[in-house]
A and B are shown apart, each in its own frame.
Chain A
């Protein structure tokens, strides 16, 4: 199954990535291979099989109580950021 250039552009846009033309061609081929791989599933008869939405089907809830816990400081939080001003994370201008 061929993956159109349009699909590749859409995927790039959703992932906020920019591809060069030769990359698009290469990714197109790779996407096709991935889809083909999953197409093998089409061969399986799934009549009457419910979609599996969770594998955590134990009959219990996993909750935490509503308690405040202070884990890290602002300084620690910002320390991994490529850009910050000591108070805010800074990212390239996004128009709101």
Chain B
């Protein structure tokens, strides 16, 4: 299997084979990121496609420093951000109260039964503005100041959105956890 440097060189030279190879290698991981940032599959697919187009266009600017996968991920996240900025006014904000309370609070934070797919589903259920802030803060590691600049909100709003996102996630985790326990216990 050719190493990533050779694949990049091939892509830069316009090799269709290398372009497809690069896509096939990384599409699954990056599509998971797209799903994480989008509420529906169509939007995720758009982000993936636009993200890859940008990746190919900007390959010439990639310096062989740091993780190539990380570099690609940043481009995809930026694409998701652009998409969010372009239509965030259209998004509906669900009220936290509309989320049903769990039957009973779990005694401990035991979410061991949850798989990555469950977590993805939970995070995608978040209202877009909460999902965006949670993703940028908790997953990507940006500060509230950076997030405020990225999506044109104040730092206070960023903090508040994160807090609401966590509350919703906590509730949903408990629901999932409770459901899993019921299923296991029979």
Partners in one complex: no
**Residues of B with Cβ closer than 8 Å to A?**
none
**Residues of A with Cβ closer than 8 Å to B?**
none
